[in-house]
A and B are shown apart, each in its own frame.
Chain A
Amino acid sequence: MESYHGEYGSLLDSDFQDFIARGLPSGLCGMLPDDLPRLSVLQQNLIGEGSHRLLSSSIRLNIEPKSLTKLPTHSCEVILIERLPIGVFADPFELQHLLQRGVFNNIAVFGDTNLELPSFLSNHSVVEVHMDVGPNLLISHKNGPYINIALPLHARYPPLDASGYSRVKFGAPDVFMCCSIEGNSPNQSCLFSPTGDGAELGSGEIVWRIPAGRKTHAEVVSIVTFISAIVSTLFIVLASIFYSKAIPYKTLKQS
């Protein structure tokens, strides 16, 4: 399968949009246009609390029931491209583990994957998820079948904020469908970009509130930290000298 980001280095939104606009091959599946499934993102949700959450994306497929049989579902997959804001990252090793358990067809993280640095020392990253569109993966919904992709994400330490929280906003993901037709020519793949409704978010903008340190604490924290360290040091030093048997010369003389 194609990996778009292997072809260019920048992860800026504007560059990515240009890339999409320049065109991706589509419509080579020998199906009538009406039969093309339409993709639209039904809903995106941030599930969980705290610094480790799941970004859940439900992608609806608008397919005519009779077209389902024509759709080569055994070799179709949905590709979700999630561009992560700076304050948040995906752990590539965790994703590999999920991949081994068969949760996704394929998954990759591009960009800044440093697991330890705080926000202001980090950069953008992008997660590309491939998920099979098989009959058993299509969940029935009153509006048609849809697929659920849950991406585990982690918060970085955000820059200091007076309110005590940093707000990280998620943009809309890009969703594609890619199918391979067996028979005509091997390894031919085709790609549909979102058609019809386009990639519309059923839910509002996703915002993740991450606890942040408060600058007003800085002075007090530093002073109290160092005073405690010094006080502890003093106690230990005094106890060592008082209770140690090596320093007092006179106790030895007494024996």
Chain B
Amino acid sequence: MLENYGNSQNSQNPCQLKAMTSVNIRALLLFSAIFRVILILYGEWQDSHMEVRYTDVDYLVFSDAASLMASGDSPYKRTTYRYSPLLAFLLIPNAIIHRSWGKFLFSASDLLVGFFIRSILKLRRVPENLCTYSVMIWLLNPFTFTIGTRGNCEPIVCAVILWIIICLMNGNVLQAAFWYGLVVHFRIYPIIYALPIILILDSNFFHSGQKPFLSYWTAGHGKTTQSSTDATYHYNMQNVLTKIFTRQRVMFGLVSAIVFFSFTGLFFYLYGWAFLHEALLYHLTRTDPRHNFSVYFYHIYLHYEKEISVLEKFISFLPQFMVQLVLISCFAQDFPICFFVQTVAFVAFNKVITAQYFVWFFCLLPLILPWSSMKLKWEGICCFSVWMGAQIHWLMWGYMLEFKGKNVFLQLWMASLVFLAANTLVLIMIIRHHRYSPVFRHLELKSSKNSVKLE
């Protein structure tokens, strides 16, 4: 779909081209910033004047935990605070300056994500109009601007993940490792990116003291392009076994592990077992029987009174494990699409799914769109409608259960099956239309390449 816009350099529709390029990135960021400020102010008004709050319940939890920390207490005295103490630390100004400080911080991270998306696409020489369009997909997405302005902390995680991608693309392995260790401490799910990152830190791409060479965007048609065949890394077992312990890989693994354990150790020393239980173990063992988008919710509720056997746990983990492994094997070198499909699959097969998890892959979607041959009409619209439709269908049954008190557990569970099917379908469609293009090129091939200019 976006290739059509990219090809519009020679298009028959100059008006469309002019319209796209006139929306420059600065104007877009400024508009998005002003809009978010207005939303935050509106949120404050709604909180004090209406029964239903605009602010997310979680934000109040963070704020309370931050006040506790500001007065020298443990943030875990606040029930349902299930995050790293770093978050409470970041929100201490909530107690000192104004309670909206956190929302401004999260919205600023959200804008930073937009900026990073543009940086990443620019590094790969994506045309300006495609860049702007991709950034708009993030900044103007209603889900995005509500999540930051309501006080959800996910934009910070997204910003860090994108920063890690930028560091890797610039060859700053140490910095990437530091932020990676930090983000895994903060939110455990980025651990799924460990294997693809390790795989791309190949000695063919990374030499010390030299920036890696990136493969650039081309307006290719169809599923293969000329540049990718030269640059494609032959991923096979032989390479993995012979070159597995490269310097970059060892450094990355070591530094990120040190950072992770240092922060974890520090907070364990400060806050004890409460920290470990609430911030780490809870997320790893969470089996919430309350209804949510996950297909497993009803199964968990029906078996909540019984002990879950090891075999059952293994069987429920198997689909997740297999999907992650195959996706990594197939897409690791084109790591934006790899991260994206891994995240979608991770969320879809998780035991608990809440709407805030969607932002984990929404921030990666703009990174893959320039390489997608999916047309907006009708494939794009179809994917979007199917995914949204399945959600709305689930929400309808959820409303009947929670707000009308009808026993519709079976229907709600079937709606979650439909949602899993929708996720699977959309994932397959995206994979099918994606033009696989590994991010890095072999360093030895540089001398033989004469068609692409280097920086």
Contact = CB atoms under 8 A, between A and B. Distances in A.
Interface stretch (B120-128, B163-171, B321-329, B358-366): B321-329
A160 B302 contact: yes
Given A50-B404, A241-B326, 7 more contacts: A157-B289, A218-B302, A225-B413, A229-B319, A240-B330, A240-B331, A244-B431
A159 interface: yes
Nearest to A163: B407
Contacts of A209: 405
B407 A222 contact: no
Nearest to A230: B319
A243 B329 contact: no
A237 B403 contact: no
A207 interface: no
A51 B60 contact: no
B21 interface: no
B234 interface: yes
Contacts of A116: 80, 288, 290
A246 B232 contact: yes
A21 interface: no
Interface stretch (A72-80, A182-190, A247-255): A247-255
B402 A218 contact: no
A243 B432 contact: yes
Contacts of A49: 403-405
B204 to A, nearest CB: 14
Contacts of A222: 299, 302-303
B228 A245 contact: yes
Given A50-B402, A212-B407, A246-B331, A229 B298 contact: no
B383 interface: no
Interface string B71-85: 000000001100000
Interface in B212-228: 223-224, 226, 228
A244 B329 CA distance: 10
B38 interface: no
A214 B413 CA distance: 13
Interface in A114-139: 114-116, 118, 120
Chain A CB within 10 A, most for which of B288, B295, B316, B333: B295
B301 A213 contact: yes
B52 to A, nearest CB: 12
B330 A217 contact: no
Interface residues of A, number: 51
B27 interface: no
B383 to A, nearest CB: 14
A252 B57 CA distance: 53
A86 interface: no
Interface residues of B, number: 67
B405 A51 contact: yes
Interface stretch (B147-155, B251-259, B266-274, B420-428): B420-428
A229 B329 CA distance: 20
B393 interface: no
A225 B345 contact: no
B243 interface: no
Contacts of B349: 229, 232-233
A237 B229 CA distance: 23
B293 interface: no
A213 B412 CA distance: 12
Interface in A195-250: 209-215, 217-218, 221-222, 224-226, 228-230, 232-233, 235-237, 239-241, 243-247, 249
B234 A252 contact: yes
Contacts of B276: none
A218 B305 CA distance: 12
A170 interface: no
Contact of B224 (A113, A164, A214, A245): A245
22 contacts: A114-B79, A118-B290, A120-B304, A157-B290, A209-B405, A211-B405, A213-B409, A221-B413, A222-B302, A225-B296, A225-B417, A232-B423, A239-B432, A240-B326, A243-B223, A245-B228, A246-B233, A246-B235, A247-B330, A249-B236, A251-B224, A252-B229
Contacts of A8: none
B224 A211 contact: no
B436 interface: yes
B315 interface: yes
A165 interface: yes
A221 B420 contact: no
Contacts of B303: 218, 222
B53 to A, nearest CB: 8
B326 A213 contact: no
Chain B CB within 10 A, most for which of A52, A215, A225: A225
B106 to A, nearest CB: 21
B34 interface: no
A255 B231 CA distance: 11
Chain B CB within 10 A, most for which of A51, A217, A243, A247: A243
B417 A236 contact: no
Contact of A232 (B304, B413, B424): B424
Which A-B residue pairs are the 10 nearest by beta carbons?
A: A244-B330, A255-B229, A245-B436, A211-B407, A50-B403, A164-B407, A233-B319, A50-B405, A229-B319, A239-B428
Contacts of A160: 302, 305
Contacts of B136: none
Chain B CB within 10 A, most for which of A116, A228, A245: A245
